[in-house]
Amino acid sequence: MSASAGARRWRAQLEEAVLPAVVALLIAALVGDVLIIVYGQSPGEVYRALLEGTWGNAYGLGQVLYKTTTLTFTGLSVAIGLRAGLFNIGAESQLAAGGFAAGVLGTLLPPGLPALLVLPLFIVAAAIGGGAVGGAAGVLKSKWGAHEVITTIMLNFIVLALLNYLTVAHFKVFDTLHTADVRSGALPRLSALIPPFHGSAANMVLFLALAVVAVAWWYLFRSRAGYELRAVGLQPGAAEYGGVNVPGVWWRAMLISGAVAGIGGLNFVLGYKHYYEDGFSTGAGFLGIAVALVGRNNPVGVVLAALLFGTLSQGGLAVNALVPKQMVDVLQAVVIIAVVTSVPEVRRVLRSARRRGGPEA
């Protein structure tokens, strides 16, 4: 189309997507201001401490990147599910299962193998761990119509309790809650490349995350399977008409969703501590839901949203000495509500409800 049409589309995009998000973030910031003042602190000081503790120094930035990495995996996991019309609440346990599988594999490998050589093995193990949990919910839905929200919530309980038991009863090192160190496959920290990051947990899994984002984008928007998956998510009736095996897409989407969350476990197990620790991922799976919604189920949007929530999470730690942790949790919730209500998809639904019954159909 002509250049002016391109400009129009860009302008519409600005109006539809960018400005509302800016408004949403500003509203969240204002709510934060009021909360901080009511608590008796200065918003300027708190936000300054928050920025200094995150983007203000290399260590803080490294920590943000570490958290962003995990959230990218869980956010992507939820986003892939949502693209297929499925609400995967189970990223929490899928992430843990992936990490556990990798941690156990690490204790079984012979020591001293090159990390790059065994990395594919770890990816497969983590994907199987998370994919088994997600895939189970998918099969329950495809075969028996069990709603995935219910099954993934229940699987969270079951899987987390099971992993806890396995760790404590069979795999843990005495007097700890973690497994033995992996004998091969530990990945270097980011500080090996960029020394100022010293001490921060950011590690090479960050690049794995970006690679997975690229693959996910290609899969969703360029592959035939992605074409069918999105059609199922938007209009299952039309997808069925188009020759798509809808239940088949359901379980495959849940399998992939779980596998992506599972691979996220490598960030802790291979990149940070080099062992699986019970409860290492507490909350990252649930935060992944917010990341997916704020990132509008787009892989690139997910990375940006993960960066936002990673910053808030690390920033919360940095300002914890000034304001209680709950205040940062509230702020995070306000961001989620504000941004989610401002996304065009949601508003389109509202608008079409208002306009229902237009010209005779």
Partner 1 sequence: MTAPDGTTPPTPDGAPPLAVSLRGIDMSFGPVRANRGASLDVARGEIHALVGENGAGKSTLMRVLSGMYAPDAGTMTVNGRDVTGWSTAQAIDAGVGMVHQHFMLVPTLTVAENVVLGREITAAGRLDRRGAERAVAELGERTGLVVAPGRLVSELSVGEAQRVEILKTLYRGARILILDEPTAVLSPPEVDELWRVLTHMRDTGDTIILITHKLDEVMAVSNTVTVMRRGATVGRVATRDTSPAELARLMVGRDVVLAGDAAAAPQHSIRAERRAALDVRELTVADARKTHAVDGVSFAVEPGEILGIAGVEGNGQTELVEALAGLREVSAGAVLLHGRDVTRQSVRARGDAGLSHIPEDRQLRGLVLDYSIADNLILGQQHRFSRRGAVDAAHVLENARRQIERFDIRPADPAAPARALSGGNQQKIVIAREMGRDFTVLLAAQPTRGVDVGAIEFIHAQLRNARAEGKAILLVSADLTEVLALSDRVAVMYGGRFAAVLPRAEATKEVLGAYMTGASGRAA
Partner 2 sequence: MRKLLILVGVLLAAHVVLLFVHPAGAASPAIDPHAVNVGIVFDVGGRGDKSFNDAAYVGGERAEKELGVHVRFIEPGDGSDREAALRIFAAEGMKLVIGVGFIFTDDLVQLAKEYPNTDFAGVDFSVATDSAGNPIPPPPNLAALKFREEEGSFLVGALAAMVGHSKKVGFVGGMNSPLIQKFQAGYTAGVHYVCPDCQVIAQYAGVTPDAFRNPGKGKELALSQYQDGVNVIFHASGSTGLGVFEAARQTNKLAIGVDADQYSEAPGHVLTSMVKGVDAAVFDAIKRVKDGTFKGGIYSYGLAQNGVRYVYDEHNKALIPDSVQARLQQLRADIIAGKIKVPTTP
Please state, in angstroms and rounded to a whole number, the distance separating the CA atoms of residues 310 and 76: 14
Taking a C-beta distance cutoff of 8 angstroms, is the pair 252, 242 a contact? no
Listed in sequence order, the residues at least 6 apart from 81 whose beta carbon sits closer than 8 Å to its beta carbon are 87, 88, 148, 253, 254, 257
What is the DSSP secondary structure assignment for residue 276, as one 8-state letter?
Answer: -
Nearer to partner 1, 12 or 193 (CB): 12
Taking a C-beta distance cutoff of 8 angstroms, is the pair 148, 216 a contact? no
Q: Return the SS3 of 178.
A: strand
Q: Select from partner 2, partner 1, none the partner in contact with residue 243, using the beta carbon and a kind-dependent cut-off of 5 to 8 Å.
A: partner 1
Residue 240 interacts with partner 1 (CB under 8 A): yes or no:
yes
Quote the least distance from Cβ 170 to partner 2, whole Å: 10
Nearer to partner 2, 148 or 277 (CB): 277
Which residues within the stretch 265-324 sit at the binding site for partner 2 (CB under 8 A)?
268, 272-273, 277-284, 313-314, 316-322
Q: Select from partner 2, partner 1, none the partner in contact with residue 143, using the beta carbon and a kind-dependent cut-off of 5 to 8 Å.
A: none
Nearer to partner 2, 15 or 116 (CB): 15
Please state, in angstroms and rounded to a whole number, the distance separating the CA atoms of residues 95 and 282: 10
| Residue 47 token pair | 């936000």
Which residues within the stretch 241-280 sit at the binding site for partner 1 (CB under 8 A)?
241-243, 245
Select the span of 13-21, 78-86, 223-231, 244-252 touching partner 2 (CB under 8 A). 13-21
Identify residue 299 by its one-letter amino acid code: P
Please state, in angstroms and rounded to a whole number, the distance separating the CA atoms of residues 91 and 149: 11
- Determine the Cα angle at 342 with ends 315 and 91, to 5°: 55
Please state, in angstroms and rounded to a whole number, the distance separating the CA atoms of residues 265 and 133: 14
Query: What are the phi and psi torsion angles at 66 (to 5°)?
Result: -60, -50
Quote the least distance from Cβ 125 to partner 1, whole Å: 24
Q: Select from partner 1, partner 2, none the partner in contact with residue 330, using the beta carbon and a kind-dependent cut-off of 5 to 8 Å.
A: none
Q: Select from partner 1, partner 2, none the partner in contact with residue 199, using the beta carbon and a kind-dependent cut-off of 5 to 8 Å.
A: partner 2
User: Out of 67, 83, 141, 252, which residue is the one contacting partner 2 (CB under 8 A)?
Assistant: 67
| Residue 306 token pair | 């993960």
Quote the least distance from Cβ 96 to partner 2, whole Å: 11
Quote the least distance from Cβ 219 to partner 2, whole Å: 29
Provide the binding-site residues for partner 2, judged by CB under 8 A.
Answer: 11, 14-15, 19-20, 22-23, 26-27, 29-30, 33-34, 37, 40-49, 53, 59, 63, 66-67, 161, 164-165, 168-169, 174-177, 199, 201, 268, 272-273, 277-284, 313-314, 316-322, 325
